[in-house]
């Protein structure tokens, strides 16, 4: 009986071992696909594109669109990124001009970039950063008779996080040291301004997080519709941090007022001003796989150049004196299915 039990036990161990081996070596199709999905996504992006390069590639795209030509500004940036190895201190506008001239002559981008080993990486990385920024949209304006009308446009449809007419000051502080709670790097961008300054959504998306965080105080997290970008707005105003139309799960449009600049945070207790200087901390997290959303694999990028670039598009807001809230003055409409 002992020998029989011994044989049954080790036979069971053998079956379990065989099944594990089949799973690990990918002999089951599902296991192979799961293994591949865990490996085939970008783990890190060092976004070093300069404001000049952003401006020039954007202007080239818009000019081409006006002339009925096809040019994608992210293709331009990816070409330059692959050419410079991501180091845009080497940027020369003649390099961009040479690329666009070849495109306009009908050369395929695959041919132009055939010898660029990392072009596809930069294309995917920069598309994740800037994918929702440029395109066709409609927006309200005031005509010569002071009447509202809706016009179609092509261009920048992302907005500065600070509403039009409100001052702020900033410098490139990405990666600087922070000590509250534990020693860590600053993974966002600080815009110093006045308490109560209306904060607007940079891009259209869905509110994924709302409420108190011991580091960020009152904060809002908004996810882009393509799921690639997560915007984090923190240190919002005490007592009245959010616009009254904001709630978790809410769909917001680029340029909508979402909250108000303040100095909350650095406290376990809610609604406390422990920040010395009123400012908006905002950042962009890139998400190529949901495993990166929260944890050690998070990818945050330097927003300094992007903040300067977005200065060209600021949302005009107005105050409703009945409830004290600010709202955008001009509605925007975009076809999100084409993003």
**pLDDT tens track for 125-169:** 999 999 999 999 999 999 888 889 999 999 999 999 999 999 999
Q: What pLDDT, on the 0 to 100 scale, is given for residue 185?
A: 77
Q: What pLDDT, on the 0 to 100 scale, is given for residue 176?
A: 81
Containing 161, the helix (H) or strand (E) segment is none
d(CA 314, CA 103): 32
- How confident is the prediction for the chain on average, in pLDDT? 89
Percent of the residues in the chain that have a pLDDT greater than 70, as a whole number: 85
Q: Where do the CATH 2.70.70.10 domains begin and end in the chain?
A: 177-334
Pair of tokens at residue 319? 């105050």
Q: Check whether 27 has a pLDDT greater than 70.
A: no
Count other Cβ atoms within 10 Å, centred on residue 174. 18
Q: What pLDDT, on the 0 to 100 scale, is given for residue 178?
A: 67
| CB neighbour burial string for 42-69, b if at least 16 within 10 angstroms, e if fewer | eeebebbbbeebbebbbebbbebbeeee
- pTM to 2 decimal places: 0.86
How sure is the predictor about 180, in pLDDT bands with cuts at 50, 70 and 90?
low
d(CA 89, CA 207): 36
Q: Checking DSSP bridges between strand 217-224 and strand 177-178, what pairing results, if any?
A: unpaired
225 burial (CB, 10 Å; 0-12 / 13-18 / 19+) is: middle
Q: What pLDDT, on the 0 to 100 scale, is given for residue 3?
A: 43
Pair of tokens at residue 140? 């309200």
CATH class of the 177-334 domain in this structure: mainly beta
Helix/strand/coil percentages in the chain, nearest 5: 30, 25, 45
Mean pLDDT of 83-94: 98
């Amino acid at each position: 009986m002992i020998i029989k039990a011994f044989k049954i036990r080790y036979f069971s161990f053998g079956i379990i071992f065989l099944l594990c081996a089949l799973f690990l070596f990918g002999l089951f199709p599902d296991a192979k696909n799961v293994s591949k999905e865990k490996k085939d996504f970008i783990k890190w992006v060092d976004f070093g594109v300069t404001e000049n390069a952003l401006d020039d590639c954007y202007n080239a795209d818009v000019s081409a669109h006006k002339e009925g030509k096809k040019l994608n500004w992210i293709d331009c940036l990816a070409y330059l990124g692959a050419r410079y190895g991501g180091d845009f201190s080497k940027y020369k506008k003649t390099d961009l001009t040479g690329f666009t001239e070849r495109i306009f002559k009908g050369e395929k981008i695959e041919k132009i970039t055939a010898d660029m080993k990392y072009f596809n990486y930069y294309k995917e990385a920069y598309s994740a950063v800037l994918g929702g920024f440029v395109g066709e949209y409609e927006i309200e304006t005031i005509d010569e008779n002071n009447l509202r009308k809706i016009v179609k446009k092509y261009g920048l449809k992302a907005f500065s996080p600070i509403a039009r007419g409100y001052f702020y000051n900033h410098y490139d502080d990405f990666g600087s040291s922070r000590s509250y709670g534990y020693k860590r790097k600053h993974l966002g961008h600080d815009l110093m301004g006045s308490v109560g300054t209306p904060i607007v959504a940079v891009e259209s998306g869905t509110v994924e997080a709302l409420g108190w965080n011991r580091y960020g105080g009152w904060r809002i997290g908004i996810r882009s519709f393509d799921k690639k970008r997560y915007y984090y707005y923190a240190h919002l105003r005490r007592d009245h941090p959010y616009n009254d139309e904001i709630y978790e799960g809410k769909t917001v449009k680029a340029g909508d007022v979402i909250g108000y600049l303040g100095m909350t945070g650095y406290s376990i207790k809610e609604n406390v001003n422990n920040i010395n200087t009123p400012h908006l901390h905002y950042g962009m997290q890139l998400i190529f796989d949901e495993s990166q959303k929260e944890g050690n694999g998070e990818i945050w990028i330097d927003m300094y150049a992007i903040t300067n670039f977005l200065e060209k598009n600021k949302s005009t807001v107005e105050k409703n004196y009945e409830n004290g809230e600010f709202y955008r003055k001009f509605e925007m409409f975009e076809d999100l299915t084409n993003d």
